[in-house]
Structure 1
Amino acid sequence: MRNSYVITSGWWCGEKSERNEKRVEYGSPTIREKQFFSTWYDSINRNSSPEKILIVDSASPTLPDLPPDARLELLRLNENGGHATSHVGHLSGFTRAVVAGLAYALACEVDYWVYVEQDAILKGEGIIEYALGNLSRGIAFGNGIGTPQPIQQSVMIVRKDHIARFINALTGIRARDAEISPEVKFAMAATPLTRFLPEFIFRAPSRIEWAGRLHARLIRVFFRTLRGYDYLPYGYGRSRPIDFSQPFYYFQHGSDEELEAALSSCSPAGS
């Protein structure tokens, strides 16, 4: 039986502001431009089969041009929540888009929620279905190896029987995203053991650099040992290097060279 799923993503396109001034811009400038949406959509359309595709816009001054696809929906939030390191309110714009997407999947009554970051590229027809077939714990994130975080959020999957519990656990964390990163929050929400632990142990020290690095390392070891989620059965997210010969992979923050290497092997969708 074929599994049903929706793919959701966030959207922001515009100049830096006081709400995202601390955002570090990696990869090609192309991935932050309006036109990159067509590349993102093509990789979704070519390699996956979602019931719906929801784009959650953080009150961006520039919107993507949506192709005439009945699966596509655009949801506009009331404000730009900002980057996780410098945001307004309790949740950053990124986490708000995740919560909205999870609720949308729940309302659609599909089998899975799948998140694909707006600058991430999928490669390999059936890449999502392959991950679903390897899912045992109901939730999957990218492996955090090669990054400062315990998990990667470029592609995330949550099965429908975990969605409500995941939303409750995620939004129940009292710390703001600037105090506990979204990646750590997602790992916490997917790991039941963390609900019995004091929240402050997951807060990174903000003033002492060496203490912050040590804390991040301990957090990675903790979740690697006691995690309540699966890792995606392929790389790479923000990790490098990328093996472009693999049948399935995904990556974020692509450079011009990486984008060319990934896209040059693609023929037009539907050909």
Structure 2
Amino acid sequence: MPWLLEKGYRCTHGFCIDQTEGMMKEWEGYPDVEYLVASTAHPHLTNKIAGAKRNITFFHNYTGMEDPPEWKDDRKGLLKGWEERNGRKQTRKKAKKFLETRYEDFLYHYLFPPSVRVGDGLNSVNRAICLASFFGYKKIYVVGADCAVADDGAFHADGANATSSGKTIIMEGDIDGRHWVTKPDMIVSAVMLAMMKRKFKDRLILVGDTLPNALVDKDPEFLKKLPRLSSQDYNFDAYEERI
């Protein structure tokens, strides 16, 4: 966001799912835009934004928090308590859904006013698309989000070289004769971006020479061979019903 403003581009919102204090430096100066911030963001960041008297809209962001061992029994107790307070049994469908609720989602529901929880992919682009969809935008343009390392090996915004640093897990491969250098987490996000494009069709426009665009026309068997999260739903055939 600061870079866009510095270059003279119109920027109306800042978006953050980062849980570290690093965003305080990234957004230093806190430009006068609307801030869309995950409830899991670092409290120092939200304090700084509020201190600059900027508007903040919170949403929830899936982090993959592990359920505590006692959560299975706690869910049953909470359901029983609700039924006792209301003097009636919950419907079978709603009871089943609640008993399958992850602890993380329960906390969002219990601790905050009603909101939306986003969770596709691993980066801010995937999650921002989910939020834009929830807001009802008719067209969603994604510029960049190449999910890959630059041809010269540059990976980080400060120009640090991913392939020579030895600190980054690098994966390489060819798709339709084009060589790609990327990272496992980027591939996870690229696959999900490709699936989102299939789902949203012309509503989602992926702009640029990017790994997601290279994957859009690949069949499910090809995509299943790529890195993915075991906790994320990768039933490609059912994806259209899920998102």
TM-score computed with the length of structure 1 as normaliser: 0.31
More helix by share: 2
TM-score computed with the length of structure 2 as normaliser: 0.34
Of structures 1 and 2, the larger Rg is shown by: 2
Q: Which has the higher contact order (CA 8 A, sep 6+)?
A: 1
